[in-house]
Chain A
Amino acid sequence: MFPLGIEPYLIGGIIIGIGVSIVYLTTGLHATQSSFFTTTLSWFSKRIHFQKERNIKERNWRVVLATGLIIGALIHTLTLSPTGFWTTSVQLWRLVLGGLLVGFGTRLSRGCTSGHGISGLASRSKTSLYAVLVFMGVAIVTANIVQLLGISP
Chain B
Amino acid sequence: MNKKNIMVLLGGILFGFGLAYSEMTKQEIVLSFLQLKDLGLIFVLGGAAAVTFITINIIAKYLKAPLLGGDFKPRLLPMSRNVIIGAVIFGIGWGLSGQCPGSAVASLGTGNLPVILGIAAMFIGAYLWGFLDSRNRSE
Residues in chain A within 8 A of chain B (CB atoms)? 1-6, 8-34, 36-38, 40-41, 45, 47-50, 60-61, 64-77, 80-81, 85-90, 92, 94-128, 130-132, 134-147, 153
Contact = CB atoms under 8 A, between A and B. Distances in A.
A9 B109 contact: no
Contact of A25 (B21, B66, B88, B98): B66
Interface size class of B (residues with CB under 8 A): 35 or more
B59 to A, nearest CB: 6
B17 A6 contact: no
Given A2-B39, A72-B17, A102-B97, A27 B109 contact: no
A117 B16 CA distance: 16
A126 B76 CA distance: 8
Given A49-B137, A98-B98, A72 B26 contact: no
Interface of B: 1, 3-5, 7-28, 31, 34-57, 59-60, 63, 65-68, 70-79, 82-115, 117-131, 133-134, 137-138
B83 to A, nearest CB: 5
Given A70-B108, A95-B115, A113-B100, A27 B95 contact: no
B20 A73 contact: yes
A113 B9 CA distance: 20
Given A14-B47, A23-B8, A118-B49, A147 B90 contact: no
A76 B103 CA distance: 14
B35 to A, nearest CB: 5
Contacts of A72: 12-20, 106, 109
Contacts of B109: 69-77
A140 B39 CA distance: 11
A98 B15 CA distance: 23
Contacts of A33: 100-102, 105
Given A13-B44, A25-B63, A127 B131 contact: no
Given A103-B123, A142-B92, 17 more contacts: A5-B40, A19-B14, A21-B54, A26-B4, A28-B73, A30-B75, A37-B101, A37-B126, A45-B127, A73-B106, A77-B109, A99-B119, A102-B90, A103-B126, A127-B77, A142-B34, A144-B36
25 contacts: A9-B44, A9-B47, A10-B43, A13-B46, A14-B47, A20-B15, A20-B48, A24-B56, A24-B66, A31-B12, A67-B9, A72-B109, A73-B106, A87-B114, A90-B31, A102-B94, A104-B128, A108-B82, A112-B102, A116-B87, A117-B49, A131-B84, A134-B84, A134-B87, A135-B88
Given A19-B14, A118-B52, A140 B130 contact: no
